[in-house]
């Protein structure tokens, strides 16, 4: 028997679709369910950063329940990024314009168009609930963000919110099913094919240090592999990565 298709629920206004999903999960909702809002007043990004809820953009969270460890479920952030990239492809009709950036950003023409926030916890009926919060700049982008941002409309690819959400959910479901059947490998390969900065020098800003090297690969768990100047390697599982403009590496090793 095939898995049920996710339900989709539109709200006119909410504080945060992730907070809504968490509340539903703790009340016993197991999904699959996507909650979307036409206005979001208090969205959040990674590390507690605010996600600006500009008019016309997409604010949504997918709620799922899994019988798996948190580390494995976290691999679905890559599926979410690939699904967002497919929304961008649909709008722009130019796959070369869209890239995914570690750990969970999507870029159009090297500018941030989307952010992804995963939250999880123990489900009341057993297993792990997962909330996949996704914001996509469909119509407008903030001009005061930490990194340069854009919107699909500004890039020449206006798309209605309802179509964007339907495309997102369908694409995520395809990647999720591949993950369930074949593991992280297909997600890793699909993500690397779109990776921003692969083979380039970058700086990883961690909680207590900053590490520089070449973005050479993804580890088997989705960590970012840096090849260091002294010939060593470092796997980064959490942090912010910056690519200095115009600085590339002389060689790329993926052995």
228-253 pLDDT, tens digit each: 999 999 999 988 899 886 433 333 33
Please name the residue ranges forming H helices in the chain. 17-26, 70-73, 76-92, 161-182, 185-192
Answer yes or no: are the C-beta atoms of 187 and 82 closer than 8 Å.
yes
Helix, strand, coil shares of the chain as percentages rounded to 5?
25, 35, 40
201-242 has CATH 2.30.30.100 classification: yes
Smallest CA-to-CA distance from 58 within 40, 42, 44 is with 40
Q: What is the pLDDT of residue 38?
A: 93
Q: What is the pLDDT of residue 21?
A: 97
Indicate the CATH number of 7-192 among 3.10.580.10, 3.30.930.10, 2.40.160.20, 3.30.420.310: 3.30.930.10
* Residues 6+ away with beta carbon under 8 Å from 32: 3, 4, 5, 6, 7, 62, 63, 64, 173
Q: What is the pLDDT of residue 245?
A: 63
Same fold across 7-192 and 201-242: no
Q: What is the pLDDT of residue 195?
A: 97
**Domain positions in the chain:** 7-192, 201-242
Strands 33-37 and 7-11: parallel
How many Å is the Cα radius of gyration of the chain?
A: 18
Q: What is the pLDDT of residue 160?
A: 96
Strands 128-136 and 201-205: unpaired
**Under-70 pLDDT residues of the chain:** 1-4, 43-53, 144-146, 245-255
Smallest CA-to-CA distance from 79 within 217, 194, 160, 164 is with 194
What is the rounded distance in angstroms from the CA atom of residue 202 to the CA atom of residue 211? 8
Q: What is the pLDDT of residue 162?
A: 97
Q: What is the pLDDT of residue 224?
A: 96
pTM, entire model: 0.90
* Opening angle at CA 194, ends 236 and 79, nearest 5: 70
* Residues 6+ away with beta carbon under 8 Å from 96: none
Strands 98-101 and 201-205: unpaired
Q: What is the pLDDT of residue 53?
A: 62
* Residues 6+ away with beta carbon under 8 Å from 204: 210, 211, 212, 213, 224, 226, 234, 236, 239, 240, 241
78-92 pLDDT, tens digit each: 999 999 999 999 999
What is the rounded distance in angstroms from the CA atom of residue 37 to the CA atom of residue 228? 43
Buried b (16+ CB within 10 A) or exposed e, 207-221: eeeeeebbbbbbeee
């Amino acid at each position: 028997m095939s898995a049920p298709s996710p339900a989709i629920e539109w709200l006119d206004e909410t504080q945060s679709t992730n907070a809504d999903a968490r509340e539903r999960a703790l009340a016993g909702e197991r999904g699959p369910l996507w909650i979307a809002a036409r206005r979001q007043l208090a969205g959040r990004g990674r590390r507690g950063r605010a996600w600006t809820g500009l008019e016309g953009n997409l604010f949504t969270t997918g709620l799922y329940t899994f019988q798996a460890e948190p580390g494995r479920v976290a691999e679905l952030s890559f599926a979410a990024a690939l699904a967002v990239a497919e929304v961008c492809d649909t709008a722009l009709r130019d796959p070369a314009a869209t890239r995914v950036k570690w750990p969970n950003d999507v870029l159009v023409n090297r500018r941030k168009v989307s952010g992804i926030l995963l939250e999880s916890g123990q489900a009341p009926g057993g297993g792990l609930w997962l909330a996949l919060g996704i914001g996509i700049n469909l119509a407008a982008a903030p001009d005061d963000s930490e990194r340069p941002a854009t919107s699909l409309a500004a890039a020449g690819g206006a798309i209605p919110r309802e179509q964007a959400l339907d495309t997102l959910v369908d694409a995520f479901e395809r990647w999720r099913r591949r993950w369930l059947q074949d593991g992280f490998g297909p997600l890793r390969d699909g993500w690397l094919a779109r990776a921003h900065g692969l083979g380039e020098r970058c700086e990883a800003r961690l909680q207590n240090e900053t590490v520089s090297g070449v973005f050479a690969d993804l580890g088997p768990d989705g960590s970012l592999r840096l090849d260091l100047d002294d010939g060593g390697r470092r796997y980064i599982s959490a942090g912010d990565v910056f690519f200095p403009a115009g600085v590339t590496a002389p060689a790329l090793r993926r052995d």
